[in-house]
Amino acid sequence: MTPHINAQTGDFAETVLMPGDPLRAKYIAETYLENVREVTNVRNVLGFTGEYKGKPLSVMAHGMGMPSISIYAHELINFYGVKQLIRVGSCGGVDEELKLRDLIVATSASTNSAMIRDRFAGYDYAAAPDFELLKACSEAAKELDLSPRFGNILSGDLFYGSNPALLPAMQKMGVLAVEMEAAALFAIAAEFRVKALCVLTVSDHLITAEETSSEERQNSFNQMMELALETAYA
């Protein structure tokens, strides 16, 4: 047990899919996995372990923001031996060609947070996912006939009230979308030599101000889940 996870040693599979929302974790476990059991519920941040196509797989929520995902990722890696962490979440589109419900796979994550610099002696660390997982994801996308956008995203500290200069800067530098966790996940995975990936769906758009309804989100969510599950299975 750890301060934030009450599972026993061995309760987690080597690969953990991580949505932000605990009820999403429950939905994923119940919908896509077999022989599922709940393995942790501290603060209602639920985690489950089951099987996908006969292979052990876990799913656990990471909450919102980089401090939260940092806690869960750290404990999963260092106390439960987790080797692959795949965030499945939503993001706000920045790139003008992105449409609502499009899929994005992060090939790197910029950030306006100081957290990554804290790990890197005050310098700018290039937070990026694992290449093997990226490759597996690209191959899984082809198999599933999906066309995610691959590119740089920004993991922000603020959902409300970001610096107004940030949006034009992201457009100038070709950032595809914003979310709030990937950079921290990539940095932790790098530090502890495990693999991480982040797959997202566009739930809202910062330029067009469009938003998806909950039904629309469910459809694109299913595509994102198939992509993440097949990547984990590869």
| Minimum distance, C-beta of residue 119 to ligand ADE, in the bound complex (Å) | 22
Among 15, 70, 203, 212, contact with ligand ADE (rule: CB under 6 A): 203
Structural contact between residues 87 and 197, judged by C-beta atoms closer than 8 angstroms:
yes
Among 19, 22, 92, 148, contact with ligand ADE (rule: CB under 6 A): 92
Distance CA 168, CA 105 (A): 22
Task: Closer to ligand ADE by CB, 22 or 50: give it.
Answer: 22
Task: Closer to ligand ADE by CB, 195 or 205: give it.
Answer: 205
Task: Closer to ligand ADE by CB, 95 or 179: give it.
Answer: 179
Binders in 151-170 for ligand ADE, by CB under 6 A: 156, 159
Nearest to 212 by CA among 92, 77, 69, 88: 92
Among 204, 216, 226, 233, contact with ligand ADE (rule: CB under 6 A): 204
Q: Alpha helices of 120-165 — where are they, by DSSP H?
A: 131-143
Interface segment toward ligand ADE; rule CB under 6 A; list 73-81, 85-93, 99-107, 186-194: 85-93
Bridge partners (DSSP) listed for residue 216: none
Among 18, 28, 133, 178, contact with ligand ADE (rule: CB under 6 A): 178
Buried b (16+ CB within 10 A) or exposed e, 73-98: bbbbbebbebebbbbbbbbbbbbeeb
For the stretch 73-78, contacts whose Cβ atoms lie closer than 8 Å and that sit 24 or more positions apart, written own/partner, are: 73/18, 73/184, 73/185, 73/188, 73/189, 73/196, 74/188, 74/192, 75/2, 75/3, 75/4, 75/5, 76/5, 76/12, 76/16, 77/188, 77/189, 77/192, 77/194, 78/192
| Minimum distance, C-beta of residue 40 to ligand ADE, in the bound complex (Å) | 24
Residues 39-78, mask of contacts with ligand ADE (x by CB under 6 A): ----------------------------------------
Among 75, 102, 130, 179, contact with ligand ADE (rule: CB under 6 A): 179
Size of residue set near ligand ADE by CB under 6 A? 11
Q: 204 an active-site residue?
A: yes
Q: What are phi and psi for residue 57, nearest 5 degrees? A: -150, 140
Interface segment toward ligand ADE; rule CB under 6 A; list 37-45, 70-78, 141-149, 200-208: 200-208
Bridge partners (DSSP) listed for residue 195: 84
Would you name the residues annotated as active-site residues? 204
Task: Catalog residues that contact ligand ADE under the rule CB under 6 A.
Answer: 90-92, 156, 159, 178-180, 203-204, 206
